[in-house]
Chains A and B, each alone.
Chain A
Amino acid sequence: MNKNKVQLLNKRYKAEKRFRLYGQSAIFMALLFLIIFIFKIFSTGYSAFQKTWLIVPVTFDAELMMLEQNPSKEDLKDADYYDIALKSMADLDPNANENQENELKRMVSYFFEREIKRELLNDPSLIGKTKDVYLTASDDLDQVFKGNYPRDLPEDQRRVTDYQLKIFDQLVELGKVESKFNLSFFTYPDSREAELAGIASSFMGSIFSILVCLMIAFPVAVLAAIYLEEFAPKNRFTDFIEVNINNLAAVPSIVFGLLGLGILLAVFQLPRSTPLVGGITLSLMTLPTIIIACRASLKAVPPSIREAALAMGASKMQTTMHHTVPLSMPGTLSGTIIGLAQALGETAPLILIGMVAFVNTIPGSPLDPAASLPVQIYIWAESAERGFVEKVSACIMVLLGFLIIMNLFAQIIRHKFEKKWS
């Protein structure tokens, strides 16, 4: 081998080595960003799954509750719990003055009255007795207990007063502060109070929107794709339709939001802020994604299968329905799920059609006002309270979990139902 050839060969090897290095560093960069992102979200968000409770002795004083002798269940429901609730908080410091009693009351959520009521309704024999009751700590004390609160700030720049901190520290020392799994994050609707805010309303809103979206987008898209791919004549008009479907897939989502606002709300007068309108708007967005996926998987069905069916005397319709469509279903379904996952993460169009409204009820149908998970993230990210910071990350974690499950499902469908043909 002459020298020139050896040089050329070496050059070739080096070029390949360099190229591999570029590729590896690109992957490394991508992974690094992903890890930073996930680490950031988990490190701020994991604490939201814990909630701080104050264990406060409550005396169920019949007189304070305005209860007669032998009260019925109805009486217990109508009783006045505010006074005993207030008294049990005030009793935490027997020497407290009126101001301090107020501060003591603000150490727990404004739900404390209901939490005490629930305790008694569960066990009516508590009347006249004293029992330790778990009360939700205020969001600021929750943050103090989790170590996220800047205690060393001067008092006038904090929402937690020195007095509250002193009592809280005493309770911690007595073991009267406990951290438990934050079930209410999943079962409560949104709230202005961080300690009571949950994702139930936005989660249900997302589910309803996605269902409405699926029920509209899937049949329309699949029928359109089958017609275009298998039946429509190939001419300028169908070319024009095809180009427009591809363009539709590239339209920014906020434009669909404007469409929803201008047509669904203004013209058709559909109820504002509801998953119904959200789902219809999202289905417009998902439609081209599913059409494209469905057409691609119809195209991937080998023509030999169609010919085999036609040669057996199957009609066009039978060929399509018995052979082509079933074979294209795995691709169509995974495309659908990916389209739905996109829709699930969509925020802008939902904000435009009013799903950004503060909703503190859990929607029971697509016609009830609701938020959605990404919009909930947006709402909480805008809130000033310290307690919402971890909630934003926790909500992102729920959304990501949802998306990962959906994508996993798409993968499974693809692998499980994919058929091999010769």
Chain B
Amino acid sequence: MKKNGVKMIKISSKNVDVFYGKKQALFNINLDIEENQVTALIGPSGCGKSTFLRCLNRMNDVIDICSVKGQIIINDFDINDKSCDVVRLREKIGMVFQKPNPFPKTIYENISYGPTIHGMAQSKNEMDEIVETSLKKAALWEEVQDRLHEPGTGLSGGQQQRLCIARAISVKPEVILMDEPCSALDPIATAQIEELIDELKKDHTIIIVTHSMAQAARVSQNTGFFHLGELIEHGSTDKIFKNPENKKTQDYITGRFG
């Protein structure tokens, strides 16, 4: 989105290096992410795109041997700074994973969990409203409104993934990270999620890691191409797919490797 003709930068990473123990997984990543746009990260397996994604909400903290260097600035604030509280950070930056991972609880509890721990609802009514709007935004309300108190794990794969998206947006995050959200889904469910992503970018900045170049072309406005831990090229999706500058990008896009 442009404000007065200037693109708003939501996230800006500066000289980010990531190490797993002694092995370096990401080399000097400099990438700016525009607000209220969908940014796709593409590249062959093991290229570091998921690792980069997980840097943005500090999920790499969970892995003992993983260390992140460099700056990641969100809202003028470096999230790698010691003063950054991960709990607050993850409230602002939601995440959807590769495999649908609803909690083994009811659909209602899945959605209400985030708002509960962050104290976002004062009453039962407010919570009901949050659950309803979240499910509606995730285009799941019609299908599950009669069985909110049945286990979320009983839904189909595509529904589970939309439940996870609803769960992520329930705390009104500014950014949603999606790590190959459609890789475990069939084409119909994939199409539903892609439609949803397009809808969600009105209120959220979305970063999606995907294996499918077609998907990247369909849903994103910007694309970054990763290869062997380096960000080879980034720019508008149109440009990357139609007129890439780098030879490697071109080879990957045209299916010569990867």
B and A form one assembly: yes
Q: Which residues of A contact B (CB under 8 A)?
A: 233-234, 302, 304-315, 318, 322-323, 327, 419-422
Complex A-B: 27 CB contacts under 8 Å: A234-B64, A304-B101, A307-B59, A307-B62, A307-B97, A308-B97, A308-B101, A308-B103, A309-B103, A310-B62, A310-B90, A311-B59, A311-B94, A311-B95, A312-B90, A312-B94, A312-B113, A312-B168, A312-B171, A313-B117, A313-B118, A314-B113, A327-B104, A420-B104, A420-B153, A422-B153, A422-B157
* Interface size bracket, B side: 20 to 34
Interface pair A422/B101, CB less than 8 Å apart? yes
Q: Which residues of B, 78-93, contact A by the 8 Å Cβ criterion?
A: 87-91
Q: Give the docked Cα–Cα distance between A420 and B114 (Å).
A: 22
Whether B130 sits at the interface, judged by CB under 8 Å, is: no
* B100 proximity list for chain A (CB < 8 A): 422
> How many angstroms from the CA of A234 to the CA of B100 in the assembled complex?
29
Across the interface, do B101 and A313 meet the contact criterion of CB distance under 8 Å?
no
Q: Which residues of B contact A308 (CB under 8 A)?
A: 97, 101-103, 164, 167
B64 and A313 form a contact (CB under 8 A): no
Bound state CA distance, A310 and B54, in angstroms?
Answer: 12
**In the assembly, what is the distance between CA of A422 and CA of B171, in Å?**
24
Q: A315 touching B102 by the CB < 8 A rule? A: no
List A contacts of B91 (CB < 8 A). 313
Identify the closest chain A residue to B90 (Cβ): A313
* A312 contacts B164, C-beta separation under 8 Å: no
Give the top 6 A-B pairs by smallest Cβ distance, nearest first: A304-B101, A311-B95, A313-B90, A313-B91, A419-B104, A312-B114
Question: Secondary structure at chain B's binding surface: helix, strand, loop or mixed?
Answer: helix
Residues of the B chain whose Cβ atoms lie less than 8 Å from the Cβ of A422:
99-102, 153, 157, 160
Interface string of B149-160 (1 = CB under 8 A from A): 000010001001
B34–chain A nearest beta-carbon distance, Å: 22
Contact B104 A313 (CB under 8 A): no
Q: Which residue of B lies closest to A301 (CB)?
A: B104
The distance from the CB of A419 to the nearest CB of chain B, in whole angstroms, is 4
| Residue B57 at the chain A interface, CB threshold 8 Å | yes
Inter-chain contacts of A322 with B (CB < 8 A): 113, 117
**Candidate in A308, A311, A327, A419 with the most chain B CB atoms within 10 angstroms:** A311
- Given A313-B118, A314-B117, A305-B88 contact (CB < 8 Å): no
CA distance A12 to B222 in the complex (A): 60
- If A305-B104, A308-B167, A312-B167 are given as contacts, then 11 extra A-B residue pairs at C-beta distance below 8 Å, sorted by A number, are A302-B101, A304-B97, A305-B103, A307-B62, A309-B103, A310-B62, A311-B90, A315-B87, A422-B99, A422-B100, A422-B153
* A421 adjacent to B104 (CB under 8 Å): yes
Most buried by A among B57, B101, B168: B101
Give Cα A318–Cα B90 distance, bound, in whole angstroms: 14
- Minimum CB–CB distance from B65 to chain A (whole Å) comes to 9
- Shortest C-beta distance, A312 to chain B (Å), equals 4
Instruction: Assess whether A305 is in contact with B153, with CB atoms less than 8 Å apart.
Output: no
* Residue of A whose beta carbon sits closest to that of B99: A304
Interchain CA distance A327-B105 in the complex, whole Å: 10
Q: Please judge, given known A-B contacts A307-B97, A308-B101, A323-B103, whether A313 and B171 are in contact too, CB under 8 Å.
A: yes
Q: Are A307 and B101 in contact (CB under 8 A)?
A: yes
Taking a contact as CB atoms under 8 Å apart, the answer to whether A311 and B104 are in contact is no
B113 → chain A, closest Cβ, in Å? 6
Most buried by A among B95, B157, B171: B95
B residues near A312, Cβ cutoff 8 Å: 90, 94, 113-114, 117, 167-168, 171
A314→B59 CA distance, assembly (Å): 12
Q: How far is the CA of A314 from the CA of B87 in the complex (A)?
A: 6
CB neighbours (8 Å) of A306 from chain B are 62
Q: Which residue of B lies closest to A420 (CB)?
A: B153
Given A421-B104, A422-B101: A313 touches B59 (CB 8 Å cut-off):
no
Query: By the criterion CB–CB under 8 Å, are A318 and B117 in contact?
Result: yes
Task: Tell me which residues across on chain A come within 8 A of B118, comparing CB atoms.
Answer: 313
